Amino acid sequence: MTPLLQRLGIPLPIVQGPMTGSDTPPLAAAVSQAGGLGMLGCGMRSPEAMAQAAAAVRAATDRPFGMNLFVLDTPAPDAATVQAAMARLAPLYAEFGLTPEAPARWCEDFAAQLEALIAARPAVASFTFGILDGAQVERLHGAGCMVIGTATTLAEALAWQEVGADAVCASGMEAGGHRGTFLGDFDASLVGTMALIPQCVDALRIPVIAAGGIMDGRGIAAAQALGAQAVQMGTAFLACPESGITPAQRAAMARAQGTDTRITRAYSGRPARGIVNTMMERLAPDEAAIPPYPIQNALTGALRRAAGAQGRADYLSLWAGQGVGAARVMPAGELVALLAQEWRAATACAQE
């Protein structure tokens, strides 16, 4: 038991990474019930949907779970930027007989989501894309939530410690999904897990959770050898039947290997790692001109939904990490048990 696990009240050092749009209450509940920490990625959930998802997890398990938000300002893009982005997407929409439209709003209101999270009082409140201030962290502590900040560099990890976070999720560039980078340049912040974890462990007073490329018990043991007190795994849990991904995305994951993922701004305007497909390749030449998250994300939403409805993986955001080829398809509770068994075997092996 590491101090982090004692504080969380969970027996295993395994956090199911929040996965906005792809995680589900049954997935989070199954992981928590099996002794890990299930998480709900609430970046695109409305406050009402957040309350419903938290209630659904609680109906299925009395174990601790976490909720995660994107720290975002509401954008106010100028009309020319939006028009140019829609013109760029028009030929892609045409594949589905659609035309791009500006949405009624660009994203959920972060302040309202934070209130919903505080009202839901999960054991863990985790954040990415930005950082809270000390007063917000205090409010979460008052609600009984442990606060975890996502960092892609040591500077970001230190910034989270400074505002009072209880732990940092250090996310290496191998990780699937969006980069959480919020200080400095995205490209300069592409630090690998093996390099990032010891840097953070050596410099921080608070526990470090390792994320990025961890797919089995060996990976958990390796992260612990580097000083991490737990791991956060996304891609591995995405393959579980309880995740919310479409059959087309499941099939693409089953085919993908470590060389098939790339970091792209094409889908959302924020660098994110996913399986290379047609949409990514078609927008690659224009990547630098694509407007930032959440503008591009909102503008591509209808296109991605149409692709999902037609079972086409070529225009879906196929977020996955470099470990995707090692994903195993099995119920989440069984995966947690297998990971625990492998982790114990790898730890015993290292001690011999």
Q: What is the DSSP letter of 319?
A: B
* 26 belongs to the binding site for ligand FMN (CB under 6 A): no
Among 24, 33, 136, 150, binds ligand FMN (CB under 6 A): 150
Best CA proximity match to 156, nearest among 127, 125, 192, 131: 131
Distance of closest approach, residue 86 Cβ to ligand FMN, in angstroms: 25
Strand 272-275's sheet: what is its strand order? 177-178, 272-275, 261-264
Give CA–CA dist 69/29, Å, rounded: 18
Q: Which SS3 state, helix, strand or coil, does residue 85 take?
A: helix
Of 94-102, 154-162, 168-176, 222-230, the segment contacting ligand FMN by CB under 6 A is 168-176
Residue 121 backbone class (left: φ over 0; alpha: ψ -120 to 50; beta: rest): left
> Per-residue x/- marks for ligand FMN, 202-241, CB under 6 A?
---------xxxx-----------------xxxxx-x---
* 319 belongs to the binding site for ligand FMN (CB under 6 A): yes
* 175 belongs to the binding site for ligand FMN (CB under 6 A): yes
Among 32, 68, 277, 297, binds ligand FMN (CB under 6 A): 68
* 38 belongs to the binding site for ligand FMN (CB under 6 A): no
Query: Which residue type is seen at 33?
Result: Q
Contacts of 94 (CB under 8 A, 6+ apart): none
What residues numbered 70-129 form the site for ligand FMN, per CB under 6 A? 128
How many residues touch ligand FMN under the rule CB under 6 A: the total is 29
Of 40 and 283, nearer to ligand FMN (C-beta) is: 40
Q: Which two tokens stand for residue 92?
A: 């892609």
Of 19-27, 56-64, 95-103, 258-266, the segment contacting ligand FMN by CB under 6 A is 19-27
Give CA–CA dist 277/224, Å, rounded: 34
**For residues 304, 44, 22 and 17, what is the CA-based torsion angle, rounded to 10 degrees?**
140
Q: Are 31 and 237 in contact (CB under 8 A)?
A: yes
* 189 belongs to the binding site for ligand FMN (CB under 6 A): no
Contacts with ligand FMN, residue ranges (CB under 6 A)? 17-20, 22, 41, 43, 68, 128, 150, 171, 174-177, 211-214, 232-236, 238, 319-321, 323
